[in-house]
Amino acid sequence: MAPKLAVWKFASCDGCQLTLLDCEDELLTLAGEIEIAHFLEASSAVTEGPYDVSLVEGSISTPADAEKIKEVRRMSRRLVTIGACATAGGIQALRNFADIEEFRSVVYARPEYVATLAESTPISAHVPVDFELRGCPIDRGQLLEVLSAFLAGRSPGIPNHPVCFECKMRGNVCVMVAHGTPCLGPVTHTGCGAICPAYGRGCYGCFGPSARPNTGSLKTWLGDIGMSRPEIDRAFSTFNVTAFTEVSDDPPA
């Protein structure tokens, strides 16, 4: 029997699950190997669980979702989070550092109609997660690798070194050294293919922190090339704000 795949959505932009539909050359082949048993964005036919692999997009930000994720976990043999929202809380986690009541009143005239939690949290804060795939959005190649790995019963080959490695391999000129352009590549998790430096801009950290990031040192460098402290703080406070906040600025041991 074909393994059953489910795709779930919480607070998010739909971009990471769209990545699955963006596998234009592989989608129909993939659909021949697995049963897409629950994927509301793509199909109105739903097969009941349990599921062999669940891909989870989005962060937990409402009381109902905090309950729903537990149900998803119970129905899933393997649970893989896809993207910065599910893995780190996403850009909507900026609320964690603000007054949610005030936020609600800025967007909605009748805030009492809107059910929301004070914090946007990653899936791992609620249930055990088998693998976390980074990125805002995730990389298509990495998604296919993770699916292949879990279907074959092996570990995914997803490196966790900084973007700099990929950047060098791509043959980019270092935008920070050559042009003084602020770049988070030295502390950001690899996987995108070092796109930003290839387009002449600095990495903006959309894959979150790499393994053992030396953020303290990079912040000194960023200051030396002219960034103010608030500018540096904003640079680390985007799509993976909670993950970068948890990183100590002391050099990694």
Partner 1 sequence: MTHRHERILNIGALARVEGEGAMRVRVTGDRVEQIGLNIYEPPRFFEAFLRGRAYTEPPDITSRICGICPVAYQMSACRAVESACGVAVDGPLGDLRRLLYCGEWIQSHALHIYLLHAPDFLGYPSAVEMARAYRPLIERGLELKKTGNMIIDRLGGRPIHPVNVRIGGFHRVPTPRELRGLVPGLRRALEDALATVRWVAGFDFPDLTFDHEFLALTGEEYPLERGTPRTTTGASFEVADFEDEVVEYQVPHSTALHSRLVHGGRYLTGPLARFALNRDRLSPLAHEAAADAGLGRECRNPFQSIVVRAVEIVHAIEEALRIIASYEPPPPSVPVPPRAGRGHGATEAPRGLLFHRYDIGADGLLTSARIVPPTSQNQAAIEEDLRHLVQERLDLDDEALTSACERTIRSYDPCISCAAHFLDLKVVRS
Which pair of tokens denotes residue 247? Answer: 């990183």
Which residues from 26-85 bind partner 1, rule CB under 8 A?
Answer: 27-28, 31, 36, 39-46, 58, 61-62, 64-65
Residue 63, φ and ψ in degrees, nearest 5: -60, -40
Per CB under 8 A, the segment of 70-78, 89-97, 158-166, 219-227 that binds partner 1 is 89-97
Q: According to CB under 8 A, which one of 90, 162, 191, 213 is a site residue for partner 1?
A: 90
Amino acid at 90: G
For partner 1, the closer of residues 39 and 244 by Cβ is: 39
For partner 1, the closer of residues 192 and 214 by Cβ is: 192
Per CB under 8 A, the segment of 122-130, 149-157, 199-207, 245-253 that binds partner 1 is 199-207
Within a 13 Å sphere around the CA of 201, how many CA atoms are in the beta-carbon half? 6
CB of 32 to partner 1, least distance (A): 9
- Report d(CA 42, CA 18) in Å as an integer: 9
Sign of the torsion formed by the C-alpha atoms of 230, 232, 238 and 242: negative
For partner 1, the closer of residues 115 and 211 by Cβ is: 115
Would you count residue 141 as binding partner 1 (CB under 8 A)? no
Length of the chain in residues, anyone? 253
For partner 1, the closer of residues 42 and 217 by Cβ is: 42
Amino acid at 233: D
Q: According to CB under 8 A, which one of 196, 218, 243, 247 is a site residue for partner 1?
A: 196
CB of 241 to partner 1, least distance (A): 10
CB 35 within 8 A of CB 156: no
Exposure b/e, 122-145, CB count within 10 A at least 16 = b = bbeebbebbbbbbbbbbbeebbee
How many positions of this chain bind partner 1 (CB under 8 A)? 65
Largest CA distance in the chain: 59
Amino acid at 99: D
Binding site for partner 1 (CB under 8 A): 9-19, 21-22, 24-25, 27-28, 31, 36, 39-46, 58, 61-62, 64-65, 90-92, 94-95, 98, 102-104, 106-110, 113-114, 116, 120, 136-137, 192, 195-196, 198-201, 204, 206, 231, 234, 238-239
